[in-house]
Amino acid sequence: MAALTLRRKLAVLSDAAKYDASCASSGTEKRDSRQSGGIGSTEGSGICHSYAPDGRCISLLKILLTNFCVYDCVYCVNRSSSNVERARFSVEEVVRLTLDFYKRNYIEGLFLSSGIIRSPDYTMEELVRVARSLRQDHAFGGYIHLKVIPNAAPEILAEAGRWADRLSTNIEMPTDVGLETFAPEKRPGEIRTAMANIRGKLVEAKPDKKAKAQPAKFAPAGQSTQMIVGADKADDNAVLTRAAGLYSGYKLRRVYYSAFSPIPDSSARLPLKPPPLMREHRLYQADWLIRFYGFDVPEIVSGGSDGLLDLAIDPKLAWALTQRHKFPVNINRADREMLLRVPGLGTRSVERIIATRRHHSLRLDDLARIAGSIDKVRPFVETVDWTPGGLTDDHKLRSKLEPQPEQLSLF
């Protein structure tokens, strides 16, 4: 096979990495090379998030070390039986690319994953070598996200967390049955074991304000995972139930949802068409409700039907329309938990409401200034000068709040 140029390798391996959505770079520690020497920062100019039209983050140099892989996962374009162009970076090439791109202000960090070559331990060691070289040899202070190879040795994962800001172990399919069907070489238990090992290291590395000697830092931005949505028959209830379990069991920072994208020469077991991208969007909204709004999964999916979220309206509004007996909520007396369940009110708006009503009773105009937009809020709240009357129970309320179609323009 003819040797590929570095430019061609970059084209192949950056394209191969585009299916991994878990590349956000928030939540890490503050590092600034202007004070510590070296190159790169996670603060100052910061990690600048840029998003492609499909919503995926492109602010990091997101590449695979290689798209060669010994596994034959049905849903993966880089599976061993796939007829795709193969390429492999050396450790030194990845280090050089990262530094060159950073110096040109193209990126603010590195997101590095890989196909499995030789063995999980060998592959994970190669990923760690890149991060260690950037940190030790080049004093790189920018953001580094490493993908975890599930059944790599615990001591290798421990070293990965020493150099990386975030680690992610992809659960990939919402159910164990789905993973065993589409990726028979992978074991759900091994993925969970890797997550548990990382969680244990994160707990050990948690600072103790009372102790003089602090533990060594370990992946300060925590760990995350990704699930592919729409490749199997798992509904949104199954997806969100798995996500909720991962959050509570492994203290993940984020679960990412990636709509299945049809791949070349795919198996007949895979769908021919991708799921609606709106489904991915609704799952992110539902995920937010679980993490920050106190909703549980049965409540969220009750707003849809047959275990799927309503694609036409957001999950909180869909829930509220099925629970109209709980509304209207009195803005001046309701507790924080109930205010968070009002459609159109976010966490910041609720905090401002609670702070403001300590000084005076809120009117509808006050609420409009706090919430920004009042249309979605008005049918579900009472203020000093407003009560929705029969609006809350209006059978046409859904159609009034549903986003209206817009005429697209070519110019």
For 174-332, where are the alpha helices, taking DSSP H only?
Answer: 176-182, 188-204, 236-250, 277-292, 297-301, 315-322
Instruction: Please check whether residue 40 is in contact with residue 87, taking contact to mean a CB–CB distance below 8 angstroms.
Output: no
CA 303 – CA 240 distance, rounded (Å): 14
pLDDT at 21: 65
Q: Is the peptide bond before 388 cis (omega within 30 degrees of 0)?
A: no
pLDDT at 56: 46
Helix/strand/coil percent split, the chain, to 5: 40, 10, 50
In this structure, what are the phi and psi dihedrals at residue 241, rounded to the nearest 5 degrees?
-65, -45
pLDDT at 42: 46
Q: Tell me the pTM.
A: 0.86
Which amino acid does the sequence have at 252?
Answer: L
pLDDT at 212: 73
pLDDT at 48: 38
pLDDT at 355: 96
Q: What is the mean pLDDT of each run of 10 residues along the chain (411 residues)?
A: 80 82 54 50 41 52 92 89 91 94 86 93 97 95 92 94 93 92 91 94 86 83 93 95 95 91 80 90 96 96 95 96 96 96 95 95 94 91 94 92 71 55
pLDDT at 17: 81
pLDDT at 211: 74
pLDDT at 22: 61
pLDDT at 407: 63
